[in-house]
Amino acid sequence: MEKYIIKTEQIDAWLKRIIESVPRVLAPVSSGTKTEFRRIKSPEEVNNKSLTTTVSAKAAAFPPVETLFKYQKDGKDTTLTEDSFDKYPETVLWHARSCDAMGFSPLSAIFDWDYKDNIYDERRNKLTIVTFACNQSDECCFCTSVGGGPGNVEGSDIQLTMLNATDTLVEVMTEKGQKLVALLPDIFQPLSEEVDKEAVLAKIPVQFTKEEIKEHVSNAFDSPVWKRQSARCLGCGACAFVCPTCACFDIQEDAHGNHGRRLRCWDACGFSLFTQHTSGYNPRPTQATRWRQRILHKFSYMPERLGVYGCTGCGRCSRACPVDMNLQEHLISIANSNHE
Amino acid sequence: MNKLQERATDLLKGGTVKLIIGFEQGNNKIRPFFCEKPEDAEKLIYSDDCSTNNAVYLTKKELIGDNKIAIIATYKEIASIIQLNKENQIKKENLMVLTVDKDGDVTELTSFEEMEKFCEENTPAPDPVVAALIEKIDKMNREERWAYWKSELDKCIRCYACRAACPLCYCNRCISEVNCPQWLDPWKSTLSNIEWQINRVMHMSGRCTGCGACAKACPLDLPIGILTKKMSTDIKEMLGEGEGGNVLSTFNPNDKENFIH
């Protein structure tokens, strides 16, 4: 890892150079009451004060809908065409948070679990992630309870930490990060003395550990806790769609007579249709069984099978939920109780 | 304990009802609460900040079963219950509707006449923000309007929170889930996002009570509530109050259009 100091006022000049050099730069942009990752053309568009976007950054590598292949029928012949990977642009994800960067590790674990998902991998490989360490948090944040933190560098290519009114610490973690620094090298001064990064980070108390949750939920399949917690859940897909690690998708056909596209689209385990069989039978017939699946997948099945947890503590699901299904609150309750 | 909590305790203790759907303090907001035990009654609260429309739970069989339940109702819930009843979705004998007045006194509304009267006397003032936005869009020409909705609904991620939060969106099989024929592309795209909202609003025409739960539920804060709101205003202006039901379920044999014959 290389560490530098940059004058905070020079960050925009560097971002401008990045925008000129990289085909696609995504950054938090505000519109109305909400802030989302959007393609930017100038540094002025970025909302530097944004804590988190409503929807996570996962769309940069796993878009809400994407074409797997196209087909064309011509008499007895059918031609399949895959999209060229050249279409996926080199992308810089600017002003992401530690919880955004951490989210790509569980996503990669899922997409490369058995079959290597070339489409996801290609998009992910073309992604360079620049995170800004958090000096503020809100009541939905719980990254420190699931192994992350406001200054965690896992998954980041570069992390910036505002140390004071004038100076920003730059931690360059990877070669991809070095390439961005090389775009305007003169503004980066090598770190001459150690700085206290921790001191400027948001203080987010640890409420539980992810291992604790795993231990509790792994034996709680038949616990009444799921029904109790999910009673008010409306069964929409908001939590899954804003989540940085939810990777469930549906395969759809965009058919037009003798030609069409096969698509991969975001799906959500909270929908009753998610597990509905053609026969009409549904193995997860109630919201309680669907809520249980959500929690067990993230905190039991994923660590057991993939060695990674499916939650970064970003709190997006809690902010998005129309009925205050607050994940942190539910996990604290799970950690503190003995579910028979 | 306040009067609401006392009443709730009595109802649960005496076994009059199995469940009370009300409100509790959540994380910086008031949220729906399912009270099943008398000792939990003290969590029940009631204030002007009770903003979800809990009538949405009344059509969820897995939650209420065939039990007798009570609902702590604001104007929103009551207006929805009246409409749900018109659509034969309510078993009145299994439902106790309780309201709380400004002094904290609890009153049971025992008949739909009482509920209608309650709604007449407690109609909330129109939301000035909603009214201003509708006025703004009314003044736009067709191209401006198209651009506005394209830009807003392009953001939609198709989480269907608008559908899930609406007490009147109770279809077991939503049009968005039917694939033979495929009425709507089920993936996120600007056009199919618009189609989804058009379908939602059409199905709500003459039924929507204007509670705004759809808009409040939207994680992206899209102005979708004004679509149903505007539709209900237009329906009232064009077709009247719809005494016998709603515009999609009534017809007049003397209709000047002949497709009905």
- For B12-40, what is the mean pLDDT? 96
Q: Are residues B198 and B226 in the same domain?
A: yes
Nearest to A295 by CA among A249, A251, A335, A338: A335
Print the SS3 string covering chain A: CEEEEEEHHHHHHHHHHHHHHCCEEEEEEEECCEEEEEECCCHHHCCCCCCCCCCCHHHHCCCCEEEEEEEEEECCEEEEECCCHHHCCCEEEEEECHHHHHHHHHHHHHHCCCCCCHHHHHHHHCEEEEEECCCCCCCCCCHHHHCCCCCCCCCCCEEEEECCCCEEEEEECCHHHHHHHCCCHHHCEECCCCCCHHHHCCCCCCCCCHHHHHHHHHCCCCCCHHHHHHCCCCCCCHHHHHCCCCCCEEEEEEEECCEEEEEEEECCCCCHHHHCCCCCCCCCCCHHHHHHHHHHHHHHHHHHHHCCCCCCCCCHHHHHCCCCCCHHHHHHHHHCCCCC
- Does residue B254 lie in a domain region? no
Q: Please tell me the predicted confidence (pLDDT) of residue A340.
A: 45
Chain A residues touching B32 at Cβ < 8 A: 232, 323
| Residue segments in chain A with a per-residue pLDDT below the cut of 50 | 340
Q: Are residues B76 and B171 in the same domain?
A: no
3-state secondary structure of B31: strand
A238 vs B207, residue with greater confidence:
A238
HSE, CB side, 13 Å, CA atoms: give it for residue A192: 3
Chain B residues touching A140 at Cβ < 8 A: 27
Q: Strands of B19-25's sheet, edge to edge?
A: B30-35, B19-25, B69-72, B95-100, B106-109
- Shortest alpha-carbon distance between residue B257 and chain A (Å): 34
- Integer Cα distance of A124 and A88 in angstroms: 10
- Does residue B82 lie in a domain region? yes
- Shortest alpha-carbon distance between residue B154 and chain A (Å): 12
Asked if A323 lies within 8 A of B31 by C-beta distance, the reply is yes
Q: Are residues B218 and B186 in the same domain?
A: yes
Q: Please tell me the predicted confidence (pLDDT) of residue B261.
A: 63
- For B214-231, what is the mean pLDDT? 95
Q: Are residues B109 and B141 in the same domain?
A: no
Q: Are residues B109 and B149 in the same domain?
A: no
Q: Please tell me the predicted confidence (pLDDT) of residue A338.
A: 67
- Integer Cα distance of A196 and A173 in angstroms: 18
3-state secondary structure of B71: strand
- Does residue B253 lie in a domain region? no
B13 secondary structure, DSSP code: H
Chain B residue whose CA is closest to A253: B185
Domain-terminating residue out of B121, B137, B158? B121
Q: Which two tokens stand for residue A23?
A: 């085909």
Residue at token pair 């994800």: A93
CB contact set of A143 (below 8 Å; sequence gap of 6+):
A98, A99, A102, A149, A150, A152, A204, A312, A313, A314
- Shortest alpha-carbon distance between residue B42 and chain A (Å): 18
What domain range includes position B34? Answer: 3-121
- Integer Cα distance of B112 and A205 in angstroms: 51
Q: Are residues B113 and B180 in the same domain?
A: no
| Amino acid present at A320 | A
- Shortest alpha-carbon distance between residue B199 and chain A (Å): 18
Domain-terminating residue out of B68, B103, B121? B121
Domain-terminating residue out of B121, B140, B169? B121
Does A251 contact chain B (CB < 8 Å)?
A: no
Helices (H) and strands (E) in chain B, counts: 10, 5
Q: pLDDT for B49-74, tens place per residue?
A: 888 999 999 999 999 999 999 999 99
- Does residue B261 lie in a domain region? no
CB contact set of B177 (below 8 Å; sequence gap of 6+):
A273, B186
- Integer Cα distance of A150 and A152 in angstroms: 6
Q: pLDDT for B92-138, tens place per residue?
A: 999 999 999 999 999 999 999 999 999 999 999 989 999 999 999 99
3-state secondary structure of B87: coil
Give me the total of CB pairs closer than 8 Å, taking one residue from chain A and one from chain B: 101
Interface of A with B in 278-307 (CB under 8 A): 285-288
Q: Which two tokens stand for residue A212?
A: 């604790």
Nearest to A173 by CA among A164, A162, A163, A161: A161
Q: pLDDT for B115-127, tens place per residue?
A: 999 999 999 998 9
Q: Are residues B108 and B151 in the same domain?
A: no
- Does residue B30 lie in a domain region? yes
Asked if A139 lies within 8 A of B28 by C-beta distance, the reply is yes
Q: Are residues B114 and B171 in the same domain?
A: no
Q: Are residues B11 and B91 in the same domain?
A: yes
- Does residue B62 lie in a domain region? yes
Nearest to A210 by CA among A47, A48, A334: A334
Does A323 contact chain B (CB < 8 Å)?
A: yes
Nearest to B212 by CA among B123, B130, B122, B117: B130
Q: Which of B56, B188, B219 sits opposite A54 (nearest CB)?
A: B219
pLDDT band at B243 (very low <50, low <70, confident <90, very high): low
- Does residue B252 lie in a domain region? no
The angle that helices A98-111 and A118-125 make with each other, rounded to 10 degrees, is 150
Total domains, chain B: 2
Backbone angles phi, psi at B87, to 5 degrees: -100, 15
